[in-house]
């Protein structure tokens, strides 16, 4: 998969590209990330790409021209995204859908926003949450990371089998050594060796974590008969 990122601040990506799973994926040629400096497509001597908004108002807007020319410089026919608050919040389901594409381009919005005519150049707006950042660079890294980790051979496939937000549930709690840390012990059932009981316990705890932290996700979840029984058990336990 190839990801082209159009940005005003290419240096922000140096650490991102040279760290951890992303660095490994690039080294193994399992993914390719291209950083494009939008300023290279300015027509002005001092490479500025923004201007004041028509009609007045605070801040500066990114101009449509440099962005248009930057997109046209990309080889191939990428699926083009614009980081913007005018979108539904990003989800794991969206990450999986984007991971199926061969080539995507992400335009990092900045300043007060972008000229509205950029909308005609993109396939989709994308937002990583209901809050405002100074620019789309961090958002583009989040999106790229979430997509690349899903590609075959980037990480152990067993690690992808059960993850938070899959099936609209948070992941169950996990533990490692030591068994006892300052009196806080690992649940004994996880040391029982009874895989059926462990699986049931983990499903129960996934439901509990979701109820505790993200009850809104349960509205989208389709409960099995076993999960309904586990919910009844949790309800009784929470009453005590």
pLDDT of residue 168: 82
Confidence tier at 157 by pLDDT (50, 70, 90) = low
Q: Residue 208 has which token pair? A: 């509990």
Q: What is the pLDDT of residue 111?
A: 73
* Contact yes or no for 89/217 (Cβ under 8 A): no
Q: Categorize the per-residue pLDDT at 238 as very low, low, confident or very high, splitting at 50, 70 and 90.
A: confident
3-state secondary structure the chain: CEEEEEECCHHHHHHHHCCHHHHHHHHCCCCEEEEEEHHHHCCCCCCCCEECCCCCCCCCEECHHHHHHHHHCCCCCCEEEEECCCCCECCHHHHHHHHCCCEEEEECCECCEECHHHHHHCCEEEECCCCCCCECHHHHHHHHHHHHCCCCCCCCHHHHCCCCCHHHCCCCCCCCCCCEECCEECCHHHHCCCHHHHHHHHHHHHHHHHHHHCHHHHHHCCCCHHHHHHHHHHHHHHHC
- For position 161, what pLDDT does the model report? 52
Q: Are strands 61-62 and 79-83 parallel, antiparallel or unpaired?
A: unpaired
Asked whether the predicted pLDDT for residue 165 surpasses 70, the reply is no
Task: Report yes or no: 67 and 38 within 8 Å, Cβ to Cβ.
Answer: yes
Q: For the residues 138-154, what does the mean pLDDT come to?
A: 94
- pLDDT band for 149, please (50, 70, 90 cuts): very high
Query: pLDDT tens-digit profile of 22-69?
Result: 999 999 999 999 999 999 999 999 999 999 999 988 889 999 999 999
Average pLDDT over the chain, rounded to an integer? 92
Task: Indicate whether 183 pLDDT > 70.
Answer: yes
Start-to-end C-alpha separation, the chain: 52
Judge contact between 222 and 170, C-beta under 8 A.
no
């Amino acid at each position: 998969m190839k990801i082209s990122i159009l940005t005003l601040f290419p240096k922000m990506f140096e650490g991102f590209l040279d760290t951890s799973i992303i660095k490994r994926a690039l080294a193994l040629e399992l993914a390719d990330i291209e950083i494009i400096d939008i300023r290279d497509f300015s027509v002005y001597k001092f490479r500025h790409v923004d201007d004041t908004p028509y009609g007045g108002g605070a801040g500066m807007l990114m101009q449509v021209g440099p962005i248009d020319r930057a997109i046209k410089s990309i080889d191939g026919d990428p699926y083009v995204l614009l980081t913007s608050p005018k979108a539904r919040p990003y989800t794991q389901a969206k990450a999986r859908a984007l991971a199926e594409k061969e080539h995507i381009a992400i335009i990092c919005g900045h300043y007060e926003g972008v000229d509205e005519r950029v909308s005609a150049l993109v396939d989709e707006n994308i937002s990583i949450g209901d809050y405002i950042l100074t620019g789309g660079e961090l958002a583009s890294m989040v999106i790229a990371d979430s997509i690349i980790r899903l590609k075959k051979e980037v990480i152990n496939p067993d690690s992808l089998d059960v993850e938070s937000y899959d099936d609209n549930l948070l992941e169950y709690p996990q533990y490692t050594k030591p068994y006892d840390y300052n009196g806080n012990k690992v649940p004994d059932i996880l040391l029982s060796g009874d895989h059926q009981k462990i699986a049931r316990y983990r499903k129960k705890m996934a439901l509990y974590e979701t109820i505790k932290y993200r009850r809104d996700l349960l509205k989208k979840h389709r409960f099995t008969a076993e999960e309904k029984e586990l919910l009844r058990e949790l309800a009784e336990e929470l009453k005590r």
